Amino acid sequence: MFEVEEWVGNLWHKVATRYTDQQFRHAEVALEDLTKELGIVFRAMGGDRGVRLEAAVERPVKLPRTLMQRVAGSQLKMSLPSLDSEVLALPATIAVYPDRDLNRELYLLLAAVAAQPPQAEDWVTDACARIGRLIRSYPVMAGRYRRLLQAYLPLRLAKEHLPAPLQPLEALLLKTLHDPTQPCITASDLAGLLPVPFWLYPSLRQWGEAPPRQGTDSAPDVEPGEDQVQQSAGKAAGRYVDEHDGDKGLLVFRLENLFSWSEYLQMDRTADDGPDEDVERIARDLDHLSLSRQEYGGKKRIRIDLDLPSAAEDDTPLGPGIWLPEWDYRQQELLKDHCCLQPMLVQATEGGAIPDNLRTKVQGVRAQFEQLRPLRYWQRNQSDGDEVELDRWQEFCADRKTGSTTDRPMYRRFTGKLRDLDCLLLADLSMSTDAYVDNHRRVIDVISDAMLLFAEALDSVGDRFSLYGFSSRRRQHIRFNMIKNFSEPYTDVVRGRIRALKPGYYTRIGAAIRQSTTILQDQHASRRLLLILTDGKPNDLDLYEGRYGLEDTRQAIFEARRQGLVPFCITVDNEANEYLPYLFGRKGYALVSNIEQLPAELPRLYALLAGM
């Protein structure tokens, strides 16, 4: 009986929702089908290359609703386009018009509007000013805007059907749409009016300006809690609420009930700090996430960091640490001595023999690369060269004694092509490499196999190379693992270090690239190649997440190129096409879609880059 009632309820909800839906679903256009095209339009018209394109999340709106809309529970949330310093958020689908081509043109118009520079602090004035600048600068876009506007106005709710207080505001809104260069309305006047699909609304960070949270620690140094909600496709808006008073609960505290003063602890018993096992599902169902302004400091004061291994189990530090700069894109400034990089020597606990599962592959790659080893030979009978040929010298002396004046070439030159190339391989050893590829191997094991085959290939061909790894825990602790430097020969000791690699922490890649650049600068080869092997985006516990980390990494790559280096990224992240072109350029990276192929692909990619 219960299943029948649930089925009838779901059917009624679908029918009521479909009846009240004001969108033209038959002409719907999806953002994922136009992502590449919209990105080209946004950046070609002057948009910031560091801004990524994402689907906008629904946010609550307050609109007049009919009785049927109230029954269906519709018109409570809408996906509105927005732009901030990191994200251009556009609706996941657009079905405003009954014509599919018009819905597609609306996407292109929004991308072009977002590419215009900001004009004003009030977001309505700014949105209108962006449209005004666009139609003045690009006559083609002016015609597109007029065409979309004429098709949109009949679709809005007639002014006469609105409540009386909203009718004059609707008239001002329509006047503003006709002439966006002269806005007649402000953001405070839009409550209750249907949102305009041509405007860029404030991002969710700006929608409700949240006051700073009370606490003793600054935001960059606060670690995320243990019970975090995992990111999902649907997101809820957050808002700050007033904190309850700790002494206003139902329990009454009576001092005479204490047997001694030592039993009294001033604790806020009304706050539940226990983890909720179903917190992710609950968060998805909430329209708002209520955030407290109060920092519960008790747990912070007694928390013990158990992530770092003991000194006996950890790698060996090399020196006190190196302070390096970091790029802050918000201030457009290179912050000096902002990060501390600690060189570490990988400690190998086992022998460096080649594992049985790689013996055949090692033999194959060494045989393949040994054929590419450059051959050198003595070129005889040269008029100038490295040393004198004794036979030709004796003939010359004999000719002089007999009175002959014939000049004989008497030198020989050691010649042959050599690759004047030094290569540094920098491997990402973050905690994501602890994930399992199959039932037996982790990502770190595949990376270790790839580095071993890479080293065997370069050793067989005689090229100079070095191997390093990195991970981080905030800017004060960036681990830079030395596996092999340029001056060290490739021996079983190095093989043992490769096999002893372990997952680290996070991916603060900018500092690791800068230190690698310094190492390569000390080499004397005419070509210096920096290979970066990673499995994900730059990230760390503090501000390095998001665009901050991407911009610092991009700046570090620019610095490496200015020093004459050739940085190239090899990644196994299937989402790399969204951010690596911005960091390395279209031809500056390679995606290995199947991580199990990485050991075979790494030497092959080096051969292509080295011009073998």
Q: pLDDT tens across 456-504, in order?
A: 988 888 889 999 999 999 899 999 999 999 999 998 889 999 988 989 9
Residue type at 40 in one-letter notation: I
Q: With 90 as the cut, is the pLDDT of residue 272 above it?
A: no
Residue 181: predicted pLDDT? 85
Residue 232: predicted pLDDT? 47
Residue 312: predicted pLDDT? 61
Are 560 and 530 spatial neighbours (Cβ–Cβ below 8 Å)? yes
Residue 73: predicted pLDDT? 61
Length of the chain: 612
Quote the radius of gyration of the chain (alpha carbons, Å). 33
Rounded CA separation 270/276 (Å):
16
Which residue has tokens 């004694």? Answer: 401
Q: With 90 as the cut, is the pLDDT of residue 562 above it?
A: yes
Q: List, as one string, the DSSP characters of 474-488.
A: STT-EEEEEEE-TTS
Chain Cα centroid distance, residue 274: 32
Are 153 and 174 spatial neighbours (Cβ–Cβ below 8 Å)? yes
Residue 15: predicted pLDDT? 61
Task: Quick: pLDDT tens for 563-596.
Answer: 999 999 999 888 888 889 889 988 899 998 888 8
Rounded CA separation 175/454 (Å):
67
Q: With 60 as the cut, is the pLDDT of residue 300 above it?
A: no
Rounded CA separation 77/95 (Å):
15
Residue 519: predicted pLDDT? 95
Q: With 90 as the cut, is the pLDDT of residue 407 above it?
A: no
Rounded CA separation 512/553 (Å):
9
Range 129-135 average pLDDT = 90
Residue 423 bridge partners (DSSP): 465, 529
Task: State the first-to-last Cα distance of the chain, in angstroms, to the nearest integer.
Answer: 73
Residue 522, both tokens: 């000390």
Q: How many CB atoms lie within 10 A of CB 531?
A: 22
Q: With 50 as the cut, is the pLDDT of residue 86 above it?
A: yes
Q: pTM of the entire structure?
A: 0.68
Rounded CA separation 453/71 (Å):
65
Rounded CA separation 570/566 (Å):
13
Over the chain, what is the mean pLDDT?
78
Task: Quick: pLDDT tens for 324-372.
Answer: 999 999 888 999 999 999 999 887 766 677 888 888 888 888 888 877 6
The answer to whether the Cα torsion of 544, 547, 552, 556 is positive or negative is positive
Rounded CA separation 80/56 (Å):
6
CA angle, 104 then 108 then 109, to 5°: 115
Residue 121: predicted pLDDT? 79
Q: With 50 as the cut, is the pLDDT of residue 319 above it?
A: yes
Q: Is 466 left (phi over 0), alpha (psi -120 to 50) or beta?
A: beta
- Phi and psi for 384 in degrees, rounded to 5? -150, 145
Task: Quick: pLDDT tens for 204-255.
Answer: 766 554 444 443 333 444 444 444 444 444 555 565 555 555 444 445 545 5
Least confident of 8-22, 30-44, 189-203: 8-22
Residue 46: predicted pLDDT? 87
Residue 608: predicted pLDDT? 85
**CATH 3.90.1150.10 is right for the domain spanning 316-370+419-610:** no
Q: Residue ranges per domain, the chain?
A: 2-207, 316-370+419-610, 377-415
